[in-house]
Amino acid sequence: MTGPTLYAWLESPLGRLLAVGDEGSLVSLSIEGQRWSSGVGAEWRRADAPFSEIARQLGQYFAGERRDFDLPLRIAGSEFRRRVWEALRAIPFGETRSYGQLAQGVGRPGAARAVGLANGRNPFAIVVPCHRAIGADGALVGYGGGLERKRWLLEHERSLMSSWRGGSG
């Protein structure tokens, strides 16, 4: 990262979100208590202003006014993980894909478990929509923020899709 590591706590219907980055880009977004989240580092500095755009876009998403995020992300990870995360970003709002479908999409058929592991290490909760990945049988599985939050996100998106199709949004 360039400059000091900055962070801000953002309120959401899912609980507090921890945004981490610098003056120019977002490095991670996690739900408080999420598996694999490191929490706040001892050397980090709280600064709300650099995260005003993520806060604005998240507010729009939760209000049903935004489907996709347009944020400067600093994505770190293996080439395979980055491909999985890009595949997640390609899943349309309100839809889901199985881990097997994602494995096919990244050119690794039969690697559904590896896709699931990469999905679980996604550093950008909600923004890179790992909540849209499901089991082959349609079951909700494997969400670092908890399955109740995954269910909430999917229901939120589906309900908005229904209202948008109905012409009210």
Which entry of 130, 133, 134, 153 is annotated as an active-site residue? 130
Neighbours of 18 (CB within 10 A): 20
Q: For residues 121 and 108, give the distance between their C-alpha atoms in angstroms, rounded to a whole number.
A: 18
Give the SS3 label for residue 143: coil
130 is catalytic: yes
Q: Are 94 and 157 in contact (CB under 8 A)?
A: yes
Structural tokens at position 112: 């559904």
Question: Annotated catalytic sites, by residue?
Answer: 130
